[in-house]
Structure 1
Amino acid sequence: MTPHTRLRPGGLLHAPVLQTDAAGQQSPAWAPGIPVYYMLVGAPTTDQVVIADQQIAQTRYRVRINHRASVGPGWRMVVHESGRPVVLDIVGDPVDPDGRRRWTELTGITNTAESRSPS
């Protein structure tokens, strides 16, 4: 984690699930949130990226939570930044920084094609 890490109240983790509609078609959705009571958040970094032929700002967060073996790429985390909810799409594999299953470090990014679509 970066030296700018700060402890803050937690957010919600959402697992990806498939829902079947009345026509029998499956569509992606999000499971009810799993509360994360406290987390450490590194200073966010912002890059300009191109998504769907549009240049947008994409912010990357490093988040450390109590160990959760089930969290992985494709999950979402909702945190609060300056009083507003921020949706982070978890990318990359989670990291157990000391190998003792005390913490899980996640990388989450904003403004992906998925997080900008309605859920």
Structure 2
Amino acid sequence: MDMDGDPYLVFKIFIPIVAFGFLSICCAGFCKVFQRLRKEREERVQGQVQAADQPSVYVIPISLSEDELYRPPRYSTVQFYEAPPAYHELNLKPEASPVEPPPAYSESYSHSPSHS
């Protein structure tokens, strides 16, 4: 083929390259749009599932008579406990401390073989 004889040879080479580049850009854009739409749809579905899974408020039924229902609470029935002892008055539990003292400390030397 002679390059001087065909003036449209440059267009025959560059038009497919430009068309391929344009199609690649369009496909990448469409993929991103579809991924974003799918992600939004999944988030919306997850939100609906979480809203449906939330436990409802459970009210514990109390059987009170009509006069107990509207009467103020009776504080005379509350049990009072004495204050705990001060920290310096506490004793150690017997199981927390050993009965016999630990063995005496002894030193031992071991000679390691010399590396030659």
Same fold by TM (over 0.5)? no
Which is richer in strand? Answer: 1
1 or 2 for the larger relative contact order (CA 8 Å, sep ≥6)? 1
Structure in which a larger fraction of residues adopt helix: 2
Greater Cα radius of gyration, structure 1 or 2: 2
TM-score calculated relative to the size of structure 2: 0.12
TM-score, normalisation: structure 1:
0.12
